Amino acid sequence: MLFTLLALCAFAASAAPYEKTRKQVEASMLVTGELVVAPDGAVKSYKLDRADALPPETKQLLAEVIPSWELDVANADGSPLQSPAAVKMSVQLLARPIAGVDDKLRVTIQDTAFRDPNVPFEVKAKAALTPPKYPPFAARSGVSGIVYVVLRLDPDGTVAETHVERVDMTVLSDEKTLRKFSKVLTEAAVEAAKQWTFDIAPERLAKPGPVAVRMPITFKMATDENHIPKAEYGRWQAYVPGPYAPIPWQKRTADGNEVENGLGAMVPGQLYSTDAPIKLRGSRAGS
């Protein structure tokens, strides 16, 4: 699916002095909603949040792709589903320039994330998680971004170790400046996260392996109830994706590669398990 994306083109064109980073620019849109999944994993129906705010092209692409999805999902006790279940979803769409075409972009589904709202989360915050302070230097400079933080927890629910998987920036500059602002946002996110405490379910403590959770932390001025910046839902946002840093304590996949676990589809401010209990079978792609 191709269409003109003026915002991204303007964002990129204004960055002529930053040719190297300009080539990394992508446009992202985060769409949330709900699926009804059959016991065999097939999607029976779906509903998009605030569908009236989404571009027609976006809704058309999702309408073509989502009904073909199949998910691996089970009951809270791990037993197979006996009846359809409602699953929350979030989808990251990406728009990238097409080589040799100046004013068109190709839209694809980049990442997906799912959660069953009826399954008790094995790790939950003991109290409201105090968000990080927006670094004044970054705010004055108009810098915004998302820091993807992973927390390894001690059995008492305190933070034993922090790891930043990726920092996506929504300001374009030279590499040195981007690294500087990325570091500023990272330090603010990690400083706040180290103070958080959690309750860990006994059954999770009984499982082997470290207990860890993930949270995307956004640095933007105003957000809605889903922690998505106001006036941005249903709109394309240009950004420069940062490099991915594998979780040091997480096992590698069988082929030796790391899995980013759908980072871009995760809703900022929401807690996620690093175990990804609900997974999409096969391809999520559409274009």
Q: What is the pLDDT of residue 48?
A: 97
Kindly tell me if the per-residue pLDDT of 254 is higher than 60.
no
How many degrees, rounded to 5, is the angle at CA 159 between CA 227 and CA 256?
85
Please say whether the dihedral angle defined by the alpha carbons of residues 167, 59, 225 and 90, taken in this order, is positive or negative: negative
Q: What is the pLDDT of residue 194?
A: 97
Closest among 31, 40, 139, 38 to 87, alpha carbons compared: 38
Q: What is the arithmetic mean of pLDDT over 49-53?
A: 94
Q: What global pTM score does this model have? A: 0.83
Kindly tell me if the per-residue pLDDT of 16 is higher than 70.
no
Domain residue ranges of the chain, discontinuous segments joined by +: 2-279
Kindly tell me if the per-residue pLDDT of 49 is higher than 70.
yes
Q: What is the pLDDT of residues 132-177, one digit of tens each?
A: 998 988 888 888 899 999 999 999 999 999 999 999 988 777 788 8
Q: What is the pLDDT of residue 142?
A: 80
Q: What is the arithmetic mean of pLDDT over 92-97?
A: 86
12-16, 90-94, 112-116 — which is least confidently predicted? 12-16
Q: What is the pLDDT of residue 76?
A: 66
Q: What is the pLDDT of residues 95-144, one digit of tens each?
A: 877 777 766 778 889 899 998 887 778 899 999 999 999 898 888 888 88
Kindly tell me if the per-residue pLDDT of 221 is higher than 70.
no
Q: What is the pLDDT of residue 161?
A: 97
Q: What is the pLDDT of residues 175-214, one digit of tens each?
A: 888 889 999 999 999 999 999 999 999 989 998 889 999 9
Distance CA 92, CA 31 (A): 6
Please say whether the dihedral angle defined by the alpha carbons of residues 63, 69, 74 and 79, taken in this order, is positive or negative: positive
Indicate the pairing of strand 26-37 with strand 211-219: unpaired
